[in-house]
Structure 1
Amino acid sequence: MSNEFVYHVVTATDWARWQDKPTYEAGSLASEGFIHLSTEEQVAGVLERYYQGVPDLLLVQIDPARLTHELKYDVSTNNDRFPHLYGPLNKDAVVSVATIR
């Protein structure tokens, strides 16, 4: 895989809970063992499938080269390969955080 950025969709409230910490953990890390990420091309479909009508969303842009935990591309929805982070997101891998809507 090339060093393209990967993305994580999160509510502003959830992201703010981790603001004073060096890492971020999505709820899926505890329940599924990884944090759901997307490629740039996958973000629109993820928003459409899982976040319709959800306010205050953020798009976290992540540099995979800076991650301290394993990033794997697993077959998921529609047999598409989605990036999953198997551990907390170290925030020094975050390139930007943008408001979605």
Structure 2
Amino acid sequence: MRIFHIAIAAQWEAARSSGLYRTSTLGLTLEEVGFIHASRVDQWEGVRERFYAEVTEPLVLLEIETDLLDVPVVEEPPAPGLAETFPHIYGPLPSTAVVAVRHLPTT
């Protein structure tokens, strides 16, 4: 299965060098949140509009092949009381699980 994560381009480049990406979401690390936020193909554009609209740094969309992960991916609501679920990656994202990177135009 393919899932998606929006990343600041500079953070993704640093992760490619180390081999592991550890940013959960904008401004928060995996260690702070406990998982990496991800989206299905039909969700990432809404996530970008809601949470990344004001970001001026270059962004990339990471396409992740879940079969290449060695940590659990769990479908969960992003907050209590919400019905829609999102994939959450419970561990660092190895750069080898990212099968495509798309540069997103600035809004």
Q: TM-score, with normalisation over the residues of structure 1?
A: 0.89
Aligned to 1:29: 30
Could you tell me the percent identity over the aligned residues? 33
Aligned to 2:102: 98
Q: What stretches of structure 1 of length at least 5 have no aligned partner?
A: none
Q: Which has the higher helix share?
A: 1
Partners of 1:71 and 1:28 lie apart in 2 by: 17
Task: Confirm or deny: 8 A CA contact 1:74 1:81 kept in the other structure.
Answer: yes
Deviations 1:9-33 (A, max 9, x none): 0011211222211211113311110
Q: How does 1:67-86 map to 2 (within 5 A)?
A: 67-76=69-78, 78-86=82-90
Secondary structure of the structure 2 residue equivalent to 1:20: helix
Partners of 1:23 and 1:17 lie apart in 2 by: 9
Q: TM-score, with normalisation over the residues of structure 2?
A: 0.85
Deviations 1:57-91 (A, max 9, x none): 10000001111111001112642100000000011
Q: How does 1:3-42 map to 2 (within 5 A)?
A: 3=1, 5-26=2-23, 27-42=28-43
Secondary structure of the structure 1 residue equivalent to 2:53: coil
Q: What stretches of structure 2 of length at least 5 have no aligned partner?
A: none
Aligned to 1:44: 45
Task: Confirm or deny: 8 A CA contact 1:11 1:58 kept in the other structure.
Answer: yes
Aligned to 2:67: 65
Structure 1 segments of 4 or more deviating over 4 A? none
The alignment covers a number of residue pairs equal to: 98
Task: Confirm or deny: 8 A CA contact 2:77 2:84 kept in the other structure.
Answer: yes
